[in-house]
Amino acid sequence: MSKDFSVHVEHVTRVEGHGNIILDVKNGKIEKLQWSIVEAPRFFEAMLRGQHYNELRPITSRICGICSIGHSLASLKATEDALGIKITNQTTTLRRLAIHAENMQSHILHIGYLVAPDLVGAGSVFSMLGKHKDTVLKIVKLHRLANEMSDLICGRTIHPIRLIVGGFSLIPTEKQLIELKKRLLEAQELTEELAPIIQSVAGALPSFSRETEYIGLTSNEEYALYQGDIASTDTGRHPAHREYKEIMQEYIVPHSTAKYAKHARESYMVGALARFNLNSKQLHPVAQEVANLFKLKAINYNPYMNTIAQLVEFSHSIQDSIYLIDTLVDQGIKQEKPVKPMKKAGRGVGIVDVPRGILVHDYTLNSKGYCTKANCIIPTNQNHANIQKDMEKLVPEIINRPQKEIELTLEMLVRAYDPCISCSTHYLDVSFK
Amino acid sequence: MKQKPRVAVFDFADCEGCELEIADLEEEVLDLLEIADVVSFREVMKEHSDDYDIAIVEGSIMRPMDEKRLRSIRNHAKILVALGACATMGGVNKIRNQWMPDEVIKEVYGDTNLKGNELFDVFQTKALNEVVPVDYYVHGCPIDRDEFKSVITAIALGKKPDIPRYPVCVECKKNENICQFELGSFCLGPITRAGCKAICPTHNSPCEGCRGLIKKAETDCVKEVLERYKLSYEDIRRRCTMYNYGRKECSYDE
């Protein structure tokens, strides 16, 4: 059939940051199809030069409001790697709680506020209030709890305060942790109520599949978030963490304005679905039940299921947090002095798997402890190429549908990746004509 | 009551954390919806309208294309509110102003030729009021949710918001914290505008100055702190490595 139309979505809504979708079709053929980023570049790596190692964490936290805890943790791990600091077990446990808190906060924000409106045909969570008030209130309650948990562990959800080089500036009391555990148990009940509600409208998620590579952290001990080796569904484990550039290879495609990343194939995906595909066996049984409810099994090649993988992880984070709190309370929690550096100069690499995927900070410090070189590999950047490749397979499959539907399906695809464009703006839109 | 004011939220170069603080008001957002209609808020809603009374704008201005968009927002809005440090004073984005744009582009993007690409046509970071007049300010990195509520409520009711003119030390003392200087840390509380409830020192971390500098004269009330640790205003000013790059004291209109 011959058909001419254009879909130009300027500034896709309900995602973090500014991105555009451009689709031009002439005589039923795709002339142009592009996922492009128009956010202003912010130059964080340049700004870190000359900063003292204690300042790197607070500054890089400001890369992103949604994943500021994740950036903080990657930053601290890189700094501590450079300075030869070995943190205590208590600090590790508290940081694992911090990453769960952020995972929960970020995931429920995405599931409830950004994606759910699409599932029920609303424009925003505000317009869901009429028909779906109960569901919205459940989501709000869970979001509030995740934020309060972040506040308790990190001092603040957005731009944490207590996370410092070598440990914590302040820690929660035993009483506060026990209270938090009670709230987490309530959250589990709420999640059990919410999951079937989402399942009942999950039919609105497009059924689409494209085989690709998935990259994330993996660990023998746990469902990896705070620590582990880099792993790929294509090539297995890569334990040399400082050699991350061999896995996360950036390249530029002349006909596109966005920078891409690839490894074994022409693109790969990071984030909740990637972690699920790599590590689903290590999920808590309660979280596995949530996966079963949606018939989500590894390996799943439907990017729209990333949102469901987030719900599964949300449930896992509740369970693992309860376990971590029990561990802290059993061992007795006490304020520790931050561990002092063994040396000043050196290079350090910190890798964590944050809500949107695997994140790397890489710093070089001089003999006075000031940063001379910095590099950050952001999850969303690693997904841009995969989004583009998905669109290239998806559009021909839906090209005969009404234009509004094509537009919504593409927007939903971008949203499914939960892109965090502010994060990714030191890499953007290089035009090669 | 007359018609509710129509509010639109916009963002430029920043982390969107301050908008997220609004979303994090949770149920209390519903209270704000009682006094104002949100007609555009790209981060959380698909609906959009160019017919609004109050524009709440987050982020710094980096490029001519951003300036153009900000001017158009200014033309639509009766009242423009700068939200968060990136908007009120350039925030962390101003750290890069110690170098010229060409230099930072080269550091981050290497030798790639970006000439003629408007997306990369950056000048030195500007706060909103370096481009258009700003009516009201919500300070902080990130903003304080309670302060946001009180500022927006005041504006929606046609009153002037009440923003502290005294330093963070005042709130820190109220919280009965041990002084960060006493703990061996170098804190910017004595020269930084309060309103954050001294959140950083309360979590045992030094103030980084995210709410901007108070007038030099106002440091009289913390003279004692400065004298005890043998610091001049200039000494403490030099410690501003994260915020307040190239910035003089605040005007009280901010």
Residues A192-243: tens digit of each pLDDT: 999 999 999 999 999 999 999 999 999 999 999 999 999 999 999 999 999 9
Q: Which residues contact A359 (CB under 8 A, 6 or more apart)?
A: A67, A70, A71, A74, A351, A352, A353, A376, A377, A378, A379
Chain A residues with CB inside 8 Å of B122's CB? 40-41
Mean pLDDT computed over B97-125: 84
Taking all residues of chain B, what is their mean pLDDT, rounded to a whole number? 88
Q: Which of A359, A395, A36 is nearest to A210 (CA)?
A: A395
Tokens of residue A143, six digits: 């979001």
* Residue B81 region by backbone torsions, left for phi larger than 0, else alpha for psi between -120 and 50, else beta: beta
Q: Retrieve residue A363's tokens.
A: 């710093």
The pLDDT value recorded for residue B32 is: 84
Contact map slice: A 62-121 vs B, CB within 8 A: 62-66, 68, 109, 113-114, 117
β-bridge pairing A5-9 and A19-26: antiparallel
Q: Do B119 and A38 touch (CB under 8 A)?
A: yes
The answer to whether B12 faces chain A, any CB pair under 8 Å, is: yes
The ipTM assigned to this model is 0.92
Could you tell me which residues come within 8 angstroms of residue B239 by beta carbon, excluding any fewer than 6 positions away?
A: B186, B188
CB A287 within 8 A of CB A66: no
- The dihedrals phi and psi of B13, each to the nearest 5 degrees, come to -70, 115
pLDDT in tens, A194-206: 999 999 999 999 9
**CA distances in angstroms from A69 to A14, A19, A355, A416, B89, listed in the order given:** 21, 24, 10, 21, 24
Q: Are the C-beta atoms of A286 and A315 separated by less than 8 Å? A: yes
Locate A259 and state its tokens. 């920078």
Predicted TM-score (pTM) of this structure: 0.93
Pick from A27, A67, A72: nearest CA to A54: A72
Tokens of A297: 């099994």
User: Which pLDDT score is estimated for A424?
Assistant: 55
pLDDT average, residue stretch A310-328? 98
Q: Do the Cβ atoms of A65 and B88 come closer than 8 Å?
A: no
Question: How many Å lie between the alpha carbon of A341 and the closest alpha carbon of chain B?
Answer: 17
Closest-approach residue (CA) in chain A for B16: A65
- B140-187 residue pLDDT tens: 999 999 999 999 999 988 999 988 988 999 999 999 999 999 998 889
| CB-based contact B53:B5 (threshold 8 Å) | yes
For B174, other C-beta atoms within 10 Å of its C-beta total: 11
Q: Which of B54, B72, B71, B60 is nearest to B4 (CA)?
A: B54
Model pLDDT for residues A345-366, shown as the tens digit of each residue: 999 999 999 999 999 999 999 9
pLDDT tier, A427 (very low <50, low <70, confident <90, very high otherwise): very low
Least-confidence region, from A88-92, B107-111, B125-129, B168-172? B107-111
Please check whether the domain covering A44-416 is classified as CATH 1.10.150.670: no
Q: Which residue has the higher pLDDT, A146 or B116?
A: A146
Nearest chain A Cα distance for residue B44, angstroms: 5
Residue with tokens 């994090």: B24
Residue B179 is classified by DSSP as P
- What confidence category does residue A276 fall into, taking pLDDT thresholds of 50, 70 and 90? very high
For residues A114 and A108, give the distance between their C-alpha atoms in angstroms, rounded to a whole number. 9
In this complex, do B205 and A426 lie within 8 Å of one another by their Cβ atoms? Answer: no
Interface of B with A in 149-208 (CB under 8 A): 199-200, 203-205, 208
When pLDDT is cut at 50, 70 and 90, the band that residue A432 belongs to is very low
CA-nearest residue to B100 within chain A is A46
Cβ–Cβ below 8 Å for A422 and B14: yes
Side-chain-side CA neighbours of A109 within 13 Å: the count stands at 33
Alpha-carbon span A244 to A377, nearest angstrom: 9
Helix (H, G, I), strand (E, B) or coil at A372: strand
CA A94 to CA A153: how far, in whole Å? 7
Shortest CA gap B1–chain A (Å): 23
* Ramachandran class of A142: left when φ > 0, alpha when ψ lies in -120 to 50, beta otherwise: alpha
Of B16, B95, B205, the CB nearest to A169: B205
Mean pLDDT of chain A: 91
Collapse the DSSP code of B180 into the 3-class scheme (helix H, G, I; strand E, B; otherwise coil) and give the result: coil
pLDDT for residue A388 is more than 50: yes
> Average pLDDT of A304-318?
98
Phi, psi angle pair for B59, to nearest 5°: 100, 165
Residue B43 has its nearest CB partner, among A16, A147, A252, at A16
Phi, psi of B9 (to 5 degrees): -115, 130
Residues in chain A within 8 Å Cβ distance of B107: 43, 45-46, 49
Q: Provide the token pair at A412.
A: 């939903």
Residue B83, chain A, CB below 8 Å: the answer is no
Cα–Cα distance for residue pair A227/A223, rounded to 1 Å = 9
Residue type at A316?
A: H
Number of neighbours of residue B216 by Cβ within 10 angstroms: 13
The encoded tokens of residue B114 equal 């970006």
* pLDDT at residue A123 in the model: 84
Q: Does residue B2 register a pLDDT over 80?
A: no
DSSP track, A64-124: -STTHHHHHHHHHHHHHHHHT----HHHHHHHHHHHHHHHHHHHHIIIIIIIHHHHTT-SB
CB contact under 8 Å between A159 and B108, yes or no, is: no
What percent of chain A lies above the pLDDT cut of 70? 94
Q: How far is CA A431 from the centre of its chain?
A: 27
Is the CB of A124 less than 8 angstroms away from the CB of B205?
no
Domain ranges of chain B: 6-156, 168-238
Q: CB pairs below 8 Å between A and B: how many?
A: 162
Choice among A205-214, A245-254, A325-334 with the minimum mean pLDDT = A245-254
Above 50 in pLDDT, residue B123? yes
> Per-residue confidence at A259, pLDDT binned at 50, 70, 90?
low
Nearest CB neighbour to A124, from listed B47, B92, B141: B47
Half-sphere exposure of A128 (CA within 13 A, CB side): 26
In this model, does residue A40 exceed pLDDT 80? Answer: no
Mean pLDDT of B56-72: 95
Q: Cβ–Cβ of B96/A62 closer than 8 Å?
A: no
Under CATH, which number does the domain B6-156 receive? Answer: 3.40.50.700
DSSP assignment string, A110-142: IIIIIIHHHHTT-SBHHHHHHHHHHHHHHHHHH
SS3 B201: helix
CA dihedral B125, B142, B74, A11 (to 10 degrees): 80
Pick the residue from chain A with its C-alpha nearest to B204.
Answer: A169
A256's enclosing H/E stretch is: none
The pLDDT of residue B45 is 79
> In this complex, do B44 and A156 lie within 8 Å of one another by their Cβ atoms?
no
- The answer, yes or no, to whether residue B84 has pLDDT greater than 50, is yes
Q: What is the pLDDT of residue B34?
A: 86
Structure tokens at B16: 């969107």
Q: Contact A59/B205, CB-based, under 8 Å? A: no
pLDDT recorded at residue B185: 87
Tokens of A184: 């987490």
Q: Is the pLDDT of residue A426 over 50?
A: no
For residue A110, what pLDDT is reported? 93
**Which residues of B, range 98-127, sit inside 8 Å of A by Cβ?**
99, 103-105, 107-109, 112, 114, 117, 119-120, 122
Half-sphere exposure of B31 (CA within 13 A, CB side): 11
> Nearest CB to A144: which of B26, B33, B204?
B26
Pairwise CB contact (< 8 Å): A47 & B96: yes
Exposed, middle or buried by CB within 10 Å (0-12, 13-18, 19+), for B176? Answer: exposed
Does B117 sit within 8 Å of A161, measured CB to CB?
no
Asked if the model's pLDDT at residue A2 lies above 80, the reply is: no
Give A15's contacts in chain B (Cβ within 8 Å). Answer: 43
Distance of CA B212 to the CA centre of its chain: 8
> Is residue B211's pLDDT more than 70?
yes
B208's enclosing H/E stretch is none
